[in-house]
Structure 1
Amino acid sequence: MTATPATGDAQCNNLALRKAARYLGATYDMALAPVGLRGTQFSILQKLAARGEMTISNLAETIAMDRTTLASNLKPLAREGLVTVEPSKSDRRARVVDLTADGQSRMKAALPLWREVQSRFEESFGGAEAARLRAALGAVLQTGFEPWAE
């Protein structure tokens, strides 16, 4: 006899979040495919375009990703010449990520595709509901867990 969990799928926050994340992530990936970007890559380029160069640690914190996973996501962007990753001039132990001109150009080409899928989601889900969803997901990041604590 197999053990059954005390709570059903409908009560598992992790499963519900991951299912929605996979669903929306695949939708954004498909929309951005014509410019050769995935949703995570677009988010990285967008943050760098908005904030300028950042250390890997700061960028990871900004997008709520551990540094190792971020470093893996940066490799193809660096290979394509969309970002540079270099030692910091002020702290040789830190690495700084910066957007290149090609990265800026690719991000700008992706922006209308992102806006279109963003608009389609908000039309389908509801603009006010989408805003509440973003606020609720933002609040999740303030629950006190430390998933990447060293």
Structure 2
Amino acid sequence: MAKHRALLEDIDGRCNFLAARQASRYLTAAYDQALSPANLRATQFSILYKLARNGPTTIGELAAAMAMDRTTLASNLKPLERDGLLELTPGQDRRAKQVVITTAGVSRYRIAFPLWQAVQTEFEDCYGQKRAEELRNSLRRVLISGFNPWAENERNLP
């Protein structure tokens, strides 16, 4: 085992993906736990928020707003649709389905919001409000950096 370690470059402190995923899993666990009394996971809460805030939207537009691929989004929409919190309806263009939050979805969002607010405040109290704001701003800048994980062209591989 030690022989293999010598061949590996140490990326622990340099890997953007590893650091982001570790923090993401950590925060996801905290938000999922906080939202569990509303029977929602953090991603589901975020989807309901986007729909409540922006109104009906296509799956493609929602995927872009959530920075998710369509397949992952579709798997997150299924339980929300099953529970009657949203509906998938034909859009203007019949090929593009619209995602619409239902009255039950708005109600569930309103139940979940104070739970989200409590965990948000708890995190900011522990991490620091200013640092949390800087963290959010840094993460948003990643999304507009020009780095495109869904680009059609191939990555330069050795």
TM score, norm. by length of structure 2:
0.91
- What does residue range 30-41 of structure 1 map to in structure 2 within 5 Å? 30-41=33-44
Identical residues among aligned pairs (%): 54
Quote the residue 1:118 is aligned against. Answer: 120
* Counterpart Cα distance in 2 of 1:70 and 1:8: 30
* Counterpart Cα distance in 1 of 2:51 and 2:16: 31
Gaps of 5+ in 1: none
Superposed displacement of residue 5, structure 1: 3.3
Quote the residue 1:100 is aligned against. Answer: 102
* Counterpart Cα distance in 1 of 2:36 and 2:147: 33
Superposed displacement of residue 86, structure 1: 1.6
* Counterpart Cα distance in 1 of 2:60 and 2:147: 18
TM score, norm. by length of structure 1:
0.95
Superposed displacement of residue 71, structure 1: 0.5
Match of 2:25 among 22, 26, 29: 22
* Counterpart Cα distance in 2 of 1:148 and 1:75: 23
Which has the higher Rg, Structure 1 or Structure 2?
2
Superposed displacement of residue 37, structure 1: 0.1
1:143 maps to 2:145: yes
CA RMSD of aligned residues (A): 1.1
Q: What do residues 49-77 of structure 1 show as CA deviations (whole Å, max 9, x unaligned)?
A: 00000000000111100011001000000
* Counterpart Cα distance in 2 of 1:96 and 1:18: 30
Q: What do residues 13-57 of structure 1 show as CA deviations (whole Å, max 9, x unaligned)?
A: 110100000000000000000010000000000000000000000
Match of 1:134 among 125, 133, 136: 136
Moved beyond 3 Å, runs of 4+: none
- What does residue range 2-81 of structure 1 map to in structure 2 within 5 Å? 2=4, 4-81=7-84
* Counterpart Cα distance in 2 of 1:14 and 1:121: 22
